Amino acid sequence: MNHNAIARSWVEHANGHRDFPLQNLPLGIFSRLGQAPRCGVAIGDAILDLEVVLAAGLFDGAAKAAVEATVGGALNAFFALGRAARVALRERLLVLLGEGSEHQAALKAALYPASECQLHLPAKIGDYTDFYVGIEHAKNVGKLFRPDNPLLPNYKHVPIGYHGRASTIRASGADVRRPKGQTLPAGQTEPSFGPCARLDYELELGIWIGQGNDMGQPIPVGDAAEHVAGFCLLNDWSARDIQAWEYQPLGPFLSKSFITTVSPWVVTAEALEPFRCAQPARPEGDPQPLSYLLDKRDQAAGAFDIELEVLLLTERMREQNLPAHRLTLSSTRSMYWTVAQMVAHHSVNGCQLQPGDLFGSGTLSGAAPGSFGSLLEITEGGKHPVELASGEVRKFLEDGDEIILRARCVREGAASIGFGECRGTIVAAN
């Protein structure tokens, strides 16, 4: 029942929906005008209010406990319940929303047009870690700054990451205020202070942590997938000129912490099961992961096949009624490390992960032009501007530009699902 490709919903607009057919059922936090935020499920172009369904007595057992854990406007307590609770809720929702459901009349009262609702962050994020597992991005950026040695020696031995800033993560639609900071202009010997001139996007997969671990107790790689609640899209906005001045010797700081945008719907690990795949074989000569990072099941089915897309819409394009310009078409298949390896490595030193923690995958670029996940790569640091149908060119992002991230899962024999959009529009510096 979990992955019946031909199953249909009585919610007609969900059938064949690009992102949210019956087979997806992602969870998020939403609010209606004058109401407090609460948990809902995306179905087609609508949101099902789980608190209303709970009050109607349509959940029992483990599914009821799962919904009760969502009350309060954040999914942390629900994430903490783990896989069994997610499965129980999913199975009950498939019955309630499936074609022929006997509860359609009661459920219609709990179904709201998504266009009339505001979406919020799905959880209270205690910690945020950004990884660097997109090897094509790592090579592309390395070639720009270290042509003779694009990948540093540790890259193929350890999932590289850094601690990000959880307080400035926002849900899709929030404005992106151009940051100010120190930069070292070309040809100068002293830094200056002012608005970022080389603002960029980064296309990433977001990973929501479910059940955590006790401090001092690592999560084995073979168990790590059980600690992942779901996934989203993530835009790690980057101030490249600030980054170039500050990143040595300790890495990104103010160039990354001004905002990170995530798509608001949590696509559960269960919804993505049909789109799992083998981790791509390492090229001959690459080192095998150390034993704490290596698990046969994870290598056989620990990767995901998710198509990723980035679109750019400028103010002039909106004025001319032009469609958004596709900058990137990429895939999660470029991840050199699996999600389970990221979880295992993060916790191997005894670090405590907690429900609602968020990981970023790092920029997911492909190997070929057209699949690069940042303007830094697309324009080779500004050397080759992007030409737009409006007559404009872009080396980096300008005020008024909107970046749109999308993701889609397609496989023969499975119903296609998507993630919804992750949007952000640049506004002028204060």
Please return the burial class of 229, using the count of CB atoms within 10 Å of its CB with bins 0-12, 13-18 and 19+. buried
Q: Cβ distance 178 to 429 under 8 Å?
A: yes
Residues with catalytic function: 137
Q: Please give the C-alpha separations between residue 81 and each of 62, 210, 237, in angstroms, as whole numbers.
A: 10, 8, 32
Report how far residue 341's alpha carbon sits from residue 298's, in angstroms, rounded to the nearest whole number.
8
Nearest one of 147, 212, 148 to 380, comparing CA atoms: 147
Q: Please give the C-alpha separations between residue 14 and each of 95, 285, 336, 340, 400, in angstroms, as whole numbers.
A: 15, 47, 34, 32, 33
Contacts of 152 (CB under 8 A, 6+ apart): 142
Residue in this structure with the two tokens 């920029």, named with its chain if needed? 363
DSSP 250-297: T--STTTSS-EEE-S-BEETTTTGGGEEPPPPPPTTPPPPPGGG--HH
Report how far residue 11's alpha carbon sits from residue 398's, in angstroms, rounded to the nearest whole number.
41
Q: At how many degrees (to 10) do helices 61-68 and 83-97 cross?
A: 100
